[in-house]
Amino acid sequence: MLFTIFTPTYNRAYTLPKLYESLKAQNHKNFVWLIVDDGSTDGTQDLIEGYKAEDKIPIRYFKQENKGKHIAVNEGLKYADTQWFCIIDSDDYLESTATEVWEQLSREIANHKNYAGFSFIHFSDKIIYDEKEYGNKRLSKVSDYKWEHYGEMLFCFKTDVISDFSFPIFPDEKFCQESVLFFPILRKYRILVTDHVLVHGEYLTDGLSQNHYASMLKSPNYGLLSIQEYFLDATTAKEKMYLAEAYWDIVLKSRRIPVMKALTGLPFIWTIKVFKDKILKKIGNK
């Protein structure tokens, strides 16, 4: 098999059937579906065992205690044994041409060691777009892509590249943004950036994206790491100030990060700017 389609899942037995149907409908069956179940209690295991019994596509299923999506990704990388690794969430589904397009894109960069992988687009089910306008762009930087609709850029990485990276582990923290894993890869390697729209789905009310800030407060070490990654790529003073304020907001509200540790997380000048701004606002409100 050429691709590992990796799905970390937690209590999503009600969304997995749509993803499964889209995998069965792929024009090219050049993949294995690898699932790491993050401790589901809703019958997910029985559902997947039923899919395996159908024997329509190759499926590998593993279950762990509930530790968070990022730890499930770390586990998935241990089991991956194909050339390419792509994370597809349990509430998404693929266009029937997805793996066919992936194969074409993979050929373009397979022998280029400075490329970590390629990208494609995830659009919400609700977005109406002209399909003829997409699938033609080739860019060398993620930041060069100009969004016409709200969407998300997904990646398919060479397995031997992404396996050299992993999410750090902070006990008792279960939410970590993918930027902590992806941004270091994107700095070290190039990406073939495309505008192929190959994945669809909707952000669910019980999903991580809906509860993003609250999740960062519950997992402050990961939250700060994510902000640090974004800060490294920030190019304007406005962006840096926004990130520095968010950084210290998490430190102060979570009350779980030692101040001396927090002081080393960002260039000190931005910490000074944040607290100077806070003091001036307090003075102005008196």
Q: Give, for all 286 residues of the chain, the pLDDT tens digit.
A: 899 999 999 999 999 999 999 999 999 999 999 999 999 999 999 999 999 999 999 999 999 999 999 999 999 999 999 999 999 999 999 999 999 999 999 999 999 999 999 999 999 888 888 888 888 888 878 877 777 777 889 999 999 999 999 999 999 899 999 999 999 999 999 999 999 999 999 765 554 454 688 889 999 999 999 999 999 999 999 999 999 999 999 999 999 999 999 999 999 999 999 999 887 676 655 5
Q: What is the DSSP letter of 208?
A: T
pLDDT digits (tens, 9 = 90+) for 78-112: 999 999 999 999 999 999 999 999 999 999 999 99
Quick one: angle between helices 179-188 and 220-233, nearest 10?
30
Nearest to 177 by CA among 226, 118, 228, 107: 226
Q: What count of other Cβ atoms lies within 10 Å of the Cβ of residue 140?
A: 10
Confirm whether pTM is higher than 0.85.
Answer: yes
Domain 3-201 indexed as CATH 3.30.420.40: no
Write down the domain spans for the chain. Answer: 3-201, 212-285
Percentage of residues in the chain with pLDDT exceeding 90?
A: 79
